[in-house]
Amino acid sequence: MYASYIEFQHKPGKTAAVIEMTKQMEADLGQMGMKQFIIVDKGDDSSTLIALYDTAQAYYAAGPKAAELLGRLAVFMAAPPERNQVEVPINFIF
């Protein structure tokens, strides 16, 4: 299993707007071949996004759409986010 791991630094006070806009992207996100999509609000105008994929190929195939969707959020970001691929050696689901 593979994941996109993205750290976001939001402009001050824009976390709620990021979360709301991302909720509106659910249909687009659902068409990207990922198995799970998680945003963690770190409480300091920053968040971490984790998107889980079965394969590295699925991760790479989602790249263009991911860039488009991240672009929609750019107005709320203090700095451009970087999409990183990481391997997920353990993913327990209970």
**H/E segment holding residue 25:** none
Confidence of residue 5 (pLDDT cuts 50, 70, 90): very high
Percent of the chain whose predicted confidence (pLDDT) is above 90: 94
Confidence of residue 83 (pLDDT cuts 50, 70, 90): confident
Q: Which fold has domain 2-75?
A: Alpha-Beta Plaits (3.30.70)
Is 59 within 8 Å of 39 (Cβ atoms)? no
- On the CB side of 57, how many CA atoms lie within 13 Å of its CA? 0
What residue spans of the chain are helical by DSSP H? 15-24, 26-30, 56-61, 63-72
Task: Give the domain ranges of the chain.
Answer: 2-75
Closest alpha carbon to 62 in 20, 14, 6: 6
Those residues with Cβ within 8 angstroms of residue 7's Cβ, 6 or more apart along the chain or in another chain = 46, 47, 48, 81, 82
For the chain, the distance separating the N- and C-terminal CA atoms, rounded to the nearest angstrom, is 17
